């Protein structure tokens, strides 16, 4: 999915990356509001995997190098309390990606203790879905999993959890044409982008999407004051049209604990995929992560809430 983009006036190369938020990191570039820039983004493992990788290589990932973000970029005039407005102009994917079950990570980590790795090659022009297996093809929608500005608190902060200044939000609708508004907490804002994905479902349930290096073009504007309490964004139109064409398979989780309901409905979808299409559980879990969506369907009829998991039927058509 692409929109007509403005031509970038600067490129921030991937060698300018960091793996934690720290407002003391020197800017890679200084820009004026209204300028368009390109970020060369590494994948979430910093290029650790290649076409010859196997599940054994998951154990050799450097935890300190996870989720590198390119930047930071200093925006002239940005002050605490201002709003940074980021228009996501376009994405240029690399054509290679990976999805993994990482031991100890993911919604169902206790059920999937062993490492698994799936490697993807896909059309860089996104003309065709990404091939997962002979029976499963995933429509692609590139986006930035991690996009944020430096927090006001001093010191180094993990890049893994999302924050009120953005970061590792993994919102799949932050794709081409979306406009993201972030609160500025430090002078210059210090914007960084990374963790780019070729596709992901809402929830990223196994902990990884189609993790893929790509170039991201954004236009950065500044609105004085009125900073949002946390990120907000607009989309240019429908957000699931690439998946909606054939409807969905849906499972539910019901109970007083939202997290347990999430676990239940995803587990039931994995059981459904394995039973109906003879998938291995690990395949069903990874496939659910890259294209299935967790929805809170009901949260008012105490004491039980309903969470639903939507799996697009077109992936298996």
Alpha carbon distance 199, 206 (integer Å):
13
- Reply yes or no on whether the pLDDT at 183 is more than 50: yes
Please give the torsion angle defined by the CA atoms of residues 216, 233, 120 and 124, in that order, rounded to the nearest 10 degrees: -40
Q: Which tens digit of pLDDT belongs to each residue from 227-279? A: 999 999 999 999 999 999 999 999 999 999 999 999 999 999 999 999 999 99
Phi/psi of residue 276, each to 5°?
-90, -30
Mean predicted confidence (pLDDT) in 111-120: 98
DSSP the chain: -----PPPSEEE-TTSEESEE-TTSPPSEEE-TT-EEEEEE--TTTT---TT--GGGGGG--GGGSS-EEEEEEETT--TT-EEEEEEEEEEE-SEEEEEE-TT-STTTTT--S-EEEEEE--TT--SPEEEETTEEE----EEEEEEE--SS-S-EESSS-BTTEEE---TT--TT-EEEEE--STTEEEEEEEEES---TT-TTS---B--EEEEEEEEEE-S---SS-EEE-SS-SSTTTGGG-EEEEEEEES-HHHHHHHHHHHHHHHHHHHH---HHHHHHHHHHH-EEEEEE-SSTT-EEEEEEEEGGGT-
Q: Which tens digit of pLDDT belongs to each residue from 39-67? A: 999 999 999 999 999 999 999 999 999 99
Would you place residue 8 in the very low, low, confident or very high pLDDT band (cuts 50, 70, 90)?
A: confident
- Reply yes or no on whether the pLDDT at 284 is more than 60: yes
- Reply yes or no on whether the pLDDT at 2 is more than 50: no
pLDDT at res. 3: 39
Whole-model pTM: value is 0.95
Alpha carbon distance 17, 2 (integer Å):
25
Mean predicted confidence (pLDDT) in 195-223: 98
Mean predicted confidence (pLDDT) in 221-229: 96
- Reply yes or no on whether the pLDDT at 1 is more than 50: no
Q: Which tens digit of pLDDT belongs to each residue from 117-151? A: 999 999 999 999 999 999 999 999 999 999 999 99
Delineate the domains of the chain, giving CATH numbers in brackets.
Answer: 10-234 (2.60.120.580), 244-315 (3.10.28.20)
- Reply yes or no on whether the pLDDT at 4 is more than 70: no
Mean predicted confidence (pLDDT) in 23-32: 98
- Ramachandran sector of residue 143 (left: φ over 0; alpha: ψ -120 to 50; beta: rest): beta
Cβ neighbours of 296 (radius 10 Å): 12
């Amino acid at each position: 999915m692409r929109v007509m983009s403005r031509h970038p006036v600067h490129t921030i190369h991937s060698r300018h990356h960091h793996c934690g938020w720290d407002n003391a990191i020197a800017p890679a570039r200084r820009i004026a509001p209204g300028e368009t820039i390109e970020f060369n983004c590494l994948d979430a493992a910093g290029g650790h995997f290649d076409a010859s990788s196997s599940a054994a290589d998951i154990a050799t990932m450097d935890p300190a190098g996870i989720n590198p973000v390119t930047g930071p970029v200093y925006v002239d005039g940005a002050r605490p309390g201002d709003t940074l407005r980021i228009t996501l102009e376009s994405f240029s994917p690399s054509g290679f990606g990976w999805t993994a079950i990482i031991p100890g990570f993911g919604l169902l980590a206790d059920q999937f203790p062993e490492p698994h790795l799936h490697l993807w090659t896909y059309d860089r022009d996104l003309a065709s879905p990404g091939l997962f297996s002979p029976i499963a093809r995933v429509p692609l929608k590139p986006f930035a999993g991690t996009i944020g500005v430096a927090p006001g608190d001093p010191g180094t902060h993990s890049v893994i959890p999302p924050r009120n200044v953005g970061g590792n939000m993994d919102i799949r609708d932050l794709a081409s044409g979306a406009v993201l508004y972030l609160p500025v907490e430090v002078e210059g804002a210090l914007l960084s982008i990374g963790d780019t994905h070729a596709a992901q479902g809402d929830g990223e349930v196994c902990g990884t999407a189609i993790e893929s290096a790509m170039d991201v073009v954004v236009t950065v504007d500044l609105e004085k004051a009125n900073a949002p309490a946390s990120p907000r964004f607009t989309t240019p139109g429908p957000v699931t049209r690439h998946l909606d064409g054939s409807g969905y398979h849906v499972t539910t989780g019901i109970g007083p604990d939202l997290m347990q309901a999430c676990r239940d409905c995803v587990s039931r979808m994995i059981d459904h995929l394995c039973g109906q299409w003879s998938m291995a559980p690990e395949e069903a879990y990874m496939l659910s992560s890259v294209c299935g969506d967790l929805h809170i369907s009901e949260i008012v009829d105490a004491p039980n809430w309903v969470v639903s998991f939507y799996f697009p039927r077109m992936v298996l058509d």
